[in-house]
Amino acid sequence: MLIHSWMSPKCRLAPSSKSGMGIFASFLIEPREIVAVWGGKVYTQAEVHQLSLQIPEYNSHTVSVAPGFYIGLMSPGTELDDTDLFNHSCQPNLGVVGQITLIARQQIEAGEELTFDYDTTETAAVPFHCRCGAPECRGVIDGSSWTKPDFQKAHAGYLSWNVLEAIRRSGDEPRQP
């Protein structure tokens, strides 16, 4: 169900071999076509922490939009928006531009599952074991990838402003000997 976000009518929700439900292309999607725009309510880090104590896995359905700020469900604990159900892949066919827009990184055929790399929006995460099946699968996704030059290079152009800002800030810090 779409509650507060926009998703292309070329997409549909269906069971995924990766994890639970996922979002799939029903029609061919062109490179750089907009697939989804996340909406919702803005939460602070403290609010997300508090909500995740009350609602298990709450923080797995928020997206970081700036250091210390998240976008999430309008009413925590209610039904998820379909756009909260894109699965992670270490070799994704979608990428994030800005903070809330998902676009196609390549031409996507009807029937393909639509995925993005969760570490392209997050700089901290509750670790999970990835089952994306990609040859370059990182195994455990824990929100630390943004610090790695290889990751930054592989996802150049598809890193959220939140991640870009974290990289910029880390570069400003004094180097440890």
Residue ranges in contact with Zn ion by CB under 5 A: 90, 130, 132, 137
Least distance to Zn ion from the beta carbon of 123, Å?
Answer: 18
Least distance to Zn ion from the beta carbon of 17, Å?
Answer: 13
State the Rg of the chain over Cα.
16
Least distance to Zn ion from the beta carbon of 176, Å?
Answer: 29
Query: Contact 76/8 with Cβ under 8 angstroms?
Result: no
| CB closer to Zn ion, 136 vs 172 | 136
| CB closer to Zn ion, 90 vs 108 | 90
| CB closer to Zn ion, 141 vs 159 | 141
- Other Cβ atoms less than 10 A from the Cβ of 171: the count is 8
User: Under DSSP, is residue 6 helix (H, G, I), strand (E, B) or coil?
Assistant: strand
Least distance to Zn ion from the beta carbon of 105, Å?
Answer: 16
Least distance to Zn ion from the beta carbon of 144, Å?
Answer: 14
Nearest to 38 by CA among 60, 62, 7, 5: 5
Strands 34-37 and 128-129: unpaired
Residue whose token pair is 């810090």: 173
- Other Cβ atoms less than 10 A from the Cβ of 168: the count is 10
Query: Contact 159/96 with Cβ under 8 angstroms?
Result: yes
How far apart CA 28 and CA 96 sit, in angstroms, is: 19
For residue 118, which amino acid is it?
A: Y
| CB closer to Zn ion, 32 vs 148 | 148
Least distance to Zn ion from the beta carbon of 14, Å?
Answer: 20
| CB closer to Zn ion, 90 vs 94 | 90
